[in-house]
Amino acid sequence: MKRIGVFSAVILFAALSGSLWAQVTVIRDSISMGAGYAKQVYYSFQNGQIDTALAAGWHLAFEIPIRGAAIRANHARGVVVFQTTKDTNGWTTLTLADTVTRLYNDNCRWEIGALNQTAAPGNPFDVGWGLYDLNTHIVTGDSLYILGLPGGIYKKLWVQKLQGTVYTVRVANLDGSEDTVYAVDKTIATGRNFVYLNLLTRQVLNAEPPTSDWDIVFTPYLALLPPSGTPYPVTGVLQNVGVKAARIVLSSTANPDTLTPSAYSLDSCISTIGYDWKRYDMNTNSWILADTVYYLVQDKAGNLWRLRFVGFGGSSTGKVVFEKARLQQATALAKTSLASVQTFPNPAREGFYVTLSTSETVHATLYTVTGQKVWESFFSGQEVAWIARPAGLPAGTYRLLLQTVSGTWSASLLFE
């Protein structure tokens, strides 16, 4: 980690009890994405810069976790995704005239990419580009797309299936030439969020560090600007899965060291930190940073950090300078208690019990095997909680995720 300065101060700061004084160490650090934001930079609050990847090194990203079926496009590097009117029977005759809607990645959830946006509302087995079969456990592609690549290149795309760990992907030029079938295997990048495909070099790539190693990534991406949702390329920060953040705007006279973390709600939306901690001033031809904007960030390990951006070099260097300070350290006790969670009965019919020991509020979520959320609720920590089967939920295997401020726990559940 390149550290450009470290300073600490003894701060008389009111903790949650209102009477505990603490010493906060503020660390100044920086990263560089390079000229033109050429690199994505993966960063850990505890360990500094972890790794980099070429921002333009891929066109499509395929979700790796065993139940994941998200497919994201590299919009920031010119990849455009169009929904078409034809089903898979129209592969040979597909043209630009068949395009109807431009599709975008979701900027709050990694698990919803551009190719997942056409999923039918209320159908947990529809992943957008295909349908999950509860009997065969195969997602079969039922949609055709057209991709626009940099340089005016257009290709047609058919994600034929996801079986086991392998996506089968067919890509060709619009005239039918260079018709290629790719086997995009999740095991190529085990332990990561995504495995990547470069359609020009025809390479399947392991291009990111293990998901357990990083908290945020500095990267260009495409934002849909309010109020009309106009797509616009930006450069900023996206959070890793499991990392939460809150944006705090203080007055010019406020002391950030008196912040009470419990007063703010942390958000798992991956673009909570985002890009708007800076703006370009056309009058001075310089970047202006919002020096009264701070972020609270809970990292992968459960530590709570305060973050403030203090410098930005723009596209000439891609350099970002920031200050971080750890406010709270994750407690091993809370994580151990979550590790002892049990569910019964399993398989279940009407519902199931969850046994756990924590005084924290629990966020419970139920997902299909393809990653579609079918139910969620919050309840206070208790020894035994009853979770009823959501109305109309089909029989099958689901994933239960329990999250608290201090830890995360998941298990597979079978409804008969």
Whether residue 94 sits in one domain with residue 177: yes
With respect to residue 91, please indicate whether it lies within any of the assigned structural domains: yes
Banded model confidence at residue 408, pLDDT cuts 50, 70, 90: confident
Whether residue 275 sits in one domain with residue 312:
yes
Ordered DSSP codes for 159-226: EEEEETTEEEEEEEETTSTT-EEEEEEGGGGTTSSEEEEETTTTEEE--S--GGG-SEEEEEEEEEET
66 within domain boundaries: no
Residue 255 resides in a domain: yes
- Which residues, including other chains, have CB under 8 Å from residue 135's CB and lie 6 or more apart? none
pLDDT in tens, 245-276: 999 999 888 888 887 888 889 999 999 999 99
Instruction: Tell me which residue range forms the domain holding 98.
Output: 71-191
Handedness of CA 6, 276, 68, 363 (dihedral sign): positive
Regarding whether 306 and 236 lie in a shared domain, the answer is: yes
Residues 175 and 86 in one domain: yes
Q: 328, 361, 385 — which closes off a domain? A: 328
Q: Are residues 77 and 180 in the same domain?
A: yes
Average pLDDT over residues 385-414: 80
Asked whether residue 109 falls in the same domain as residue 161, the answer is: yes
If one counts the domains in the chain, the total is 3
CA 221 – CA 219 distance, rounded (Å): 6
Do 79 and 187 sit in the same domain of this protein?
yes
Q: Is residue 304 part of a domain?
A: yes
Please enumerate in sequence order all residues whose Cβ is within 8 A of that of 260, keeping only pairs 6 or more positions apart, or say none: 14, 15, 16
Instruction: Give residue 71's pLDDT.
Output: 98
161 shares a domain with 78: yes
Q: Domain check: are 126 and 230 in the same one?
A: no
Q: Given a cut of 50, is residue 337 above it in pLDDT?
A: no
Domain boundary at 142, 162, 191, which?
191
Ramachandran angles phi, psi of 30, nearest 5°: -155, 160
Supply the pLDDT for residue 176.
Answer: 97
Q: Once rounded to an integer, what is the mean pLDDT over residues 309-329?
A: 94
Q: What is the mean pLDDT of residues 19-45?
A: 84
Kindly give the pairing relationship between strand 5-11 and strand 278-281. Answer: unpaired
Same domain, 19 and 36: yes
pLDDT at 382: 56
Whether residue 410 is found in the same domain as residue 387: yes
The enclosing domain of 366 has a CATH number of 2.60.40.3080
